Amino acid sequence: MALKKTDKKVTTENLIIINGGAYNDIKNALRQWIDLYSKDLQDDLTFQIFKNGGRSHIIQADKRLDNERFFYLVNYLNYPENIEYKVDIEGYTKGKDKNRLRDKILFVYISAADREYDNVFVTTSDNENFKVDFGGKIKEIRDKRTFKSPTDILLENPEILKIKRKEIQQKDEKINDSKIDKRFKIIAITVISLILIGIIINQTDPVIFRKFSFFLGLGIGVWFFSDYKMLQSDRHYLYSLGIAIGYFVFILTKNGEFNKNVLDYGALYPLTLLVVQKPTRLIFKAILNREPVIDKPPPTFWDGVYTIVLFLGFGILPFILIDYLIK
């Protein structure tokens, strides 16, 4: 986000008046909301914050902000995360979406009786009253709230928060990479420690070692499969590939002899998953221009296809390869 100062007349479209709360708390709540929805917002949208004297503040949101996200913003400013204040919020906008509010002048507020926390209340300039929930449902209600229009406001030197999607994306990637790196180190140290324990077990009981190694290899494969964001980092993918190859070679040359029963020791699961994941991910990105997501339920049909391909590489491909190794 870029921060600068300017002078500009405030319009009543996508206008928010906040009574109560400290200025810095209001600004931080707005920053949090922008960070939270940055991926869904148009680049270069601007949000102006004015001091309106005392504990009164005004936010002029960009006119291009749609009704749905304007409603989200009003709601979030009333219920910000990790910020404690008591405020009264009034929002003003024009109905833009293709629904019963279209082309109406809207007064948006949070009811003092609200206990659902995922909606806003709207009064039109014709004094029609509605509750708009964040599932998209608009319900007419019997409320005696009447429409009131704010007088024209002219304030000087607002602070402007401007969405710079590239900067936000770089910031998010840096934070995510740091989290992945920390998680990877912990799990990798655990895996290496278990391999060393397996070497000790092999010296005393080869049968137990066989079972231990199978579940270890399976566990490494499950780790790679579930931590799909880690494999989207080229650096961590190479680290993971090193672990998979190292474990495979370790099992393949167990006791200094060539061991064809690598599947019984779970050595193929993590390796085949990684071999399938890389080209499949690159094809997915080339076609859809985004990273794939593994989730329940899958966000889209193609994310589901990607998940199935990875599962086949993890759970089926080892059995196909083992036939060639045994021959």
SS (H, E, C) 131-161: EEECCCCEEECCCCCCCCCCCCEEECCCEEE
Based on the domain organization, do 93 and 205 belong to the same domain? no
* pTM given for the model: 0.54
Q: Is the pLDDT of residue 4 over 50?
A: no
The string of pLDDT tens digits covering residues 213-259 is 888 888 998 898 888 888 888 888 999 999 999 888 877 776 555 56
- List the helix and strand counts (H, then E) for the chain: 8, 12
Minimal CA–CA distance to 165: which of 6, 299, 37, 66?
A: 37
Residues 32 and 138 in one domain: yes
The SS3 call for residue 119 is: strand
147 and 182 belong to one structural domain? no
CA distance 75 to 79: 6
Query: Which residue carries 């279209």 as its tokens?
Result: 102
Closest Cα partner for 307 from 277, 268, 279? Answer: 277
Same domain, 158 and 177: no
Q: Are residues 27 and 113 in the same domain?
A: yes
* Same structural domain, 156 and 203: no
Residue 70's nearest CA partner among 43, 35, 106 is 106
- pLDDT, position 7: 46
- Encoded tokens for 322: 């083992």
Question: Binning pLDDT at 50, 70 and 90, where does residue 132 land?
Answer: very high
Determine the pLDDT at residue 165. Answer: 61
Same domain, 25 and 60: yes
Predicted confidence (pLDDT) per residue in 86-99, tens digit: 999 999 999 988 88
Range(s) of the domain holding residue 213: 173-326
Q: Which of 102, 130, 163 is the last residue of a domain?
A: 163
Distance (Å, rounded) from C-alpha 282 to C-alpha 234? 12
Q: Is 278 contained in some domain?
A: yes
Averaged pLDDT of the chain: 83
Q: In the listed set 163, 191, 213, which residue is the last one of a domain according to the structure? A: 163
Kindly state whether residues 14 and 159 are assigned to the same domain. yes
Domain end among 135, 163, 191: 163
What is the pLDDT, as a whole number, of residue 29?
94
Query: What pLDDT shows up at residue 3?
Result: 41
Kindly state whether residues 218 and 316 are assigned to the same domain: yes
Question: Residue 48 and residue 26: Cα distance in Å, rounded?
Answer: 12
Residues 177, 315: one domain? yes
pLDDT at residue number 320 = 78
How many domains does the chain contain in total? Answer: 2
